[in-house]
Amino acid sequence: MAFLSGPRLLDWASSPPHLQFNKFVLTGYRPVASGAECMRSLFYLHNELGNIYTHGIPLLGFLLLLPLQIPWRQLSVPWLGLVHYLACVIPQLGSVLYHLFMNHHGGAPIYHKLLTLDMCGICLVNTLGALPIIYCTLLCYPSMRTLSLLTYSALSSYVIFCAITAHSNISRLCSFAWQAAFRFFFFYLRWAGLGSGHPSSLYCYLLMDSLALLGGIINISRLPERLRPGKFDYWCNSHQIMHVLVVISILYLHWGVTSDLTWISSYKCPPE
């Protein structure tokens, strides 16, 4: 990509206070800008460009390619395909909007609205992404399945509130522990042979959550830029690494769910 020349970039101390959330990224901050100027920043180098493109490019790919991968015609329960598609797309969209417009001249109020949007996207991939997993795990237990889906949805509403009101990255990451514990209960049911699903899906789901957790830990630890402040201002800092791991995590979610959805189209529950 040929980058255009942009405005004079700021260092950490000169950037707006609400953008001073990583003291190990020392340079490359965009000055406050209008919406059009924020859009123009797609085409010149700054320290948020990697964050925008590491989710922006996958977003375009997911929008165009995932509908071709979901077995719509085989689905006896169409909403499972829809919630899975939204789970894969929404977090990428929220992240792109947050990173692209975070320096908007509306200041801290606009920034916090964008951060809330980004957090809601993360919560929705955890919420919507798990619904097909729960449904397929309890395919042959309709009453328990309905109760579990409602319980997880209610729990997720609480998690969204905790995430958007968190005051640090650590407390924000901990907010998602409740959803993770709920999901791991269903992974255990599959592992123990008490739940149903495609044989390969459990492996995908375990990798999905492991990669997402690793990305979260790298993000809050500020590695590698903590070791060499200023050397990872533009590329390969902790947030960009987290973005890449999250995209791979969502791919594993997609592979697991599509396997499950194809599997339930031909599976017959044993007679009671």
Binding-site entries for Zn(2+): 99, 239, 243
The contacts of residue 165 (CB under 8 Å, 6+ apart) are none
The contacts of residue 21 (CB under 8 Å, 6+ apart) are none
Which residues belong to the annotated binding site? Answer: 99, 239, 243
Angle made by CA atoms 196, 247, 223, in degrees to the nearest 5: 120
Going by C-alpha positions, the residue among 130, 132, 241 that lies closest to residue 176 is 130
CA 4 to chain centre: 30
Going by C-alpha positions, the residue among 239, 216, 222 that lies closest to residue 126 is 216
Could you tell me where the DSSP H helices lie in the chain? 35-40, 49-69, 78-101, 108-137, 142-165, 169-175, 177-191, 201-221, 238-264
The contacts of residue 13 (CB under 8 Å, 6+ apart) are none
Residue 10, phi then psi, degrees to nearest 5 = -105, 160
Report how far residue 28's alpha carbon sits from residue 251's, in angstroms, rounded to the nearest whole number: 31
Residue 259, phi then psi, degrees to nearest 5 = -65, -45
Strand partners, 33: 104
User: Are 133 and 256 contacting, i.e. CB atoms less than 8 angstroms apart?
Assistant: yes
Strand partners, 104: 33
